[in-house]
Amino acid sequence: MADAEPSVTVAAAGGAGLAGALAAAPLQDYLEQLHAALAPIADGALADYIPELTRADPAWFGIALATVDGHVYQAGDSRLPFTVQSISKAIAYGLALEDRGLDAVLAKIGVEPTGEAFNSISLEPGTGRPLNPMINAGAIATTALVRDDETPALERLLATFARYAGRAMDIDEAVFASERETGHRNRAIAHLLRGYGILECSPEVATDLYFRQCSIRVTARDLALMGACIANGGVNPVTGVVALRRRYVDKVLSVMSSCGMYDYSGGWVFNVGMPAKSGVGGGIMAVLPGQFGLGVFSPLLDAKGNSVRGIKACERISQDFGLHMFNVARATSATVLRRSYDCRRVRSRRERSAAERAVLAQQGGCVRVYELQGELVFGSAESVELTMLADLAHAQALVIDMKRVVAVGAAAARLLLRLAERVGDSGKRLYFTGTMHLYGFRRLLQKAGGAGSAEWLRFDDTDRAIETCEQQIVDVAGVAAATVDGDDLHAHYLCAGLADADLAAVRAAGSERRYPPGAPVLAVGDAAQSFFFVLSGEAEAWLLADTGVARADRRLRLTTLGPGTVFGEIGILDREQRTANVSAVTALTCLEVPFDALDAGIRERMLANMARHFAGMLRENAELVGHLA
């Protein structure tokens, strides 16, 4: 039976933008590819000790992953209902802890793994206490602890499952009848428990409730959300409803880790490394605390009663993304997205002409910049990635500034790699900047991206990446600096409003200077006696930035100047020493004009233009500060 519903569900507010981002997410692609790769596996057999379970189609296979942010990804038969079976033990254990308290539950049920099959009679010598709540003996004792005073226990169990899954739950009556008819071993276990005083109700009542609990219908999506509740401190990340009190979350996770996969629990922790619970209906619920819940459904079981495809899927996800719970991440900020902005307000340090600034003010929104911080792990990277994908619908270029990122986990690195590939496939551009200290991340990009990775890692300076994106915008608009006639002094802001005769006087007062690429024009400490009109080529104003490491000084760009721009004019105010270096970037031609060569009237008009120009810059900076605050 194929999943007839969409493979991706918008599980949190965000509308069409988030829906599109989820559908396009690299993680969604990954799950679909994983599903396709594992679907042909035909190993295993259907559970036949419950006759009704043999009616399952061996081809059924669904995967779902729900993050603690409420995003749900699905592939295959993720909404196909099946019975929860032993996965219910983890949910019932949490409810029993809430109903009775930790001490009362521990008095009836231990927490030690058995290394034996799920239906083994593993009772503590002398006391008859089941060794843990994940084997049938412990699960029957657990279910019997659910309160049945004001509201029937079955209703309370169904209501609890509903809080976890975010929807009303029901029971597969055919499976229940089949379990009740063939559940003699479980009844025998219940009678032993009653004989030891572990059960306070009749064995028939306890097993009947237990059979109904195991027959609750769920989907792989439900299991993912149930796991996400536990991963999220007991709170459903979609509905915000508390499914399990936080104080008991670690207890449930502990027994899932040590006992949840029966006599494969040790191998599971070794190979997958996530707390989990399986069921003979073919489901597996896995949890990565603080990040996500994972639900897998495939009814073909191995000899230990675990889903064959389910185990393969969980192993692959854990290994591909480095998600073993003992891969401990260092402490990081609550959010990795420090801030994001576009190039309408925050522009590069390149000095732009009035025409260029007008174009960027109108179209700069198609360049988005994201400043990340802290340590990137699966959950944080997935959340940021969705933000970027949602923005991509209206953006042409993404710049991801990683200079404040201290480390990138394997899972986060793979998500970002898939994001880069997705952006490239869409014909748009993505640049990672500030990655020189993230050696492992750079190597992954270089290895996976081949020649394409050179474009992703083209810049280590975010400002240079923004400048390149800006230049593509103004080039397309046909107002690039190369089209500005710098030889026409009307193009320079300092000469605004001057008559032709005045411009002729300015030109006559100056001298044309030519500089080869890399040649110095001004140096810090030089006497300020003139200013320069850029007629052609490019110049760069810069300082030496001391990094605090011996012999590691580097040039810090202040601004890049092209035709139609001016530099050195500040000296007309105070005639002090130069405060920045200026060098030619390309072959550069300037008109150098001594301050004292201008008559007083021209100088006054230039000072007025300068005042207006810098007042405008102050307004832009004030807007920028407000935008980034």
pLDDT digits (tens, 9 = 90+) for 468-517: 999 899 888 887 544 556 678 887 888 988 999 999 999 999 999 999 99
Which runs of consecutive H residues, i.e. helices, occur in 393-452?
Answer: 410-425, 439-449
Task: Give pLDDT tens digits for 176-188.
Answer: 999 999 999 999 9
345 burial type by CB count under 10 A (0-12 exposed, 13-18 middle, 19+ buried): middle
Q: Where in the chain is the domain with CATH 2.60.120.10?
A: 484-628
> What does the alpha-carbon distance between residue 422 and residue 415 come to, in Å, rounded to a whole number?
10
SS3 at position 67: strand
Active-site residue, selected from the candidate residues 262, 370, 431, 493: 262
403 in active site = no
**Which residue out of 7, 8, 88, 89 is catalytically annotated?**
89
State yes or no: is 515 an active-site residue: no
Marked catalytic residue, from 73, 93, 164, 210: 210
User: Residues of CATH 3.40.710.10 domain(s) within the chain?
Assistant: 8-321
pLDDT greater than 50 at residue 5: no
For residue 93, indicate whether it is catalytic. no
Fold observed for domain 484-628: Jelly Rolls (2.60.120)
- Among the listed residues 263, 294, 260, the one whose alpha carbon sits nearest the alpha carbon of residue 276: 260
For residues 67 and 380, what is the distance between their CA atoms, to the nearest angstrom? Answer: 10
Task: Tell me which of 86, 257, 318, 380 is the catalytic residue.
Answer: 86
| Model pLDDT for residues 424-452, shown as the tens digit of each residue | 888 999 999 999 999 889 988 888 877 66
Render pLDDT for 150-207 as a digit per residue (tens, 0 to 9).
899 999 999 999 999 999 999 999 999 999 999 999 999 999 999 999 999 999 999 9
Question: Tens digit of pLDDT for each residue in 8-43?
Answer: 333 333 445 555 566 667 889 999 999 999 999 999
Residue among 115, 109, 70, 71 at smallest CA distance from 90 = 109
Q: How much is the pLDDT for 52?
A: 92
Residues 6/371, Cβ–Cβ less than 8 Å:
no
Q: How far is residue 44's CA from residue 25's CA, in Å, rounded to a whole number? A: 32
The Cα-based distances of 341 to 347, 472, 628 in angstroms read 10, 18, 8
3-class SS of residue 342: strand
Domain 337-481 in CATH 3.40.50.800? The answer is no
Catalytic residue among 68, 280, 287, 521: 280
- Cα(143)–Cα(190) distance, integer angstroms: 11
Cβ count near 526 (within 10 Å)? 16
The DSSP letter of residue 301 is B
89 vs 105: CA distance, rounded Å: 14
Q: What percent of the chain has pLDDT over 70?
A: 89
Any catalytic annotation for residue 280? yes
| Start-end of CATH 3.30.750.24 domains in the chain | 337-481
Known catalytic residue: 262?
A: yes
pLDDT tens, residue by residue, 311-353:
999 999 998 888 888 775 544 445 788 889 998 878 888 887 7
Return the pLDDT at 629: 44
Q: 498 with 604: CB under 8 angstroms?
A: no
Q: What is the pLDDT of residue 328?
A: 59
Domain 8-321 has CATH 3.40.710.10: yes
